């Protein structure tokens, strides 16, 4: 079993920055695709970014150039650096993961493709 715990959420003014962390514990597979999703009430969870074991990353268009996903495999920790935050970035942010090949992870865009989920951390951006 794998457990994921997010931290680092909070309230920030538009244009500000936040750094989210996701600590993974339990048995971590050698090949472990990880991602950040976000969700607002009444809407489907959307992928923000996903990352392969080697650090290769993909982003949804709305955050390209502003957010950076990274991972520290030695610490079993996933990060999301969020800069130039906008009110529309306000959401509950979730860490997700799934054992997978690099090819699977590269194309893992939907929430149904991930097995493990954290409890979420709230990000609120005020204008």
What digits encode the pLDDT tens for the residues 74-127? 999 999 999 999 999 999 999 999 999 999 999 999 999 999 999 999 999 999
pLDDT digit string, tens, across residues 1-49: 899 999 999 999 999 999 999 999 999 999 999 999 999 998 999 999 9
- Across-strand partners of 70? 79
Q: E strands within the chain?
A: 2-7, 10-13, 18-26, 32-39, 46-51, 57-59, 67-72, 77-82, 91-99, 116-117, 121-126
Please report the pLDDT score of residue 103 as a whole number.
96
Please report the pLDDT score of residue 127 as a whole number.
93
User: Could you give the dihedral angle defined by the CA atoms of residues 111, 116, 118 and 123, in that order, rounded to the nearest 10 degrees?
Assistant: -30
Please report the pLDDT score of residue 62 as a whole number.
97
């Amino acid at each position: 079993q794998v457990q994921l715990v997010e931290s680092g959420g909070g309230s920030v003014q538009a244009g500000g920055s936040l750094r989210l962390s996701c600590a993974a514990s339990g048995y971590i597979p050698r090949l472990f695709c990880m991602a950040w999703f976000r969700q607002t009430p009444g809407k489907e969870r959307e992928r923000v970014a996903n990352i392969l074991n080697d650090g290769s990353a993909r982003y949804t268009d709305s955050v390209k150039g502003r957010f950076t996903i990274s991972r520290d495999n030695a610490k079993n920790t996933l990060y999301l650096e969020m800069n130039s935050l906008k009110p529309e970035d306000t959401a509950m942010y979730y860490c997700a993961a799934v054992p997978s090949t690099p090819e699977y992870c590269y194309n893992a865009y939907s929430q149904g493709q991930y097995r493990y989920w954290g409890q979420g951390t709230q990000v609120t951006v005020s204008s």
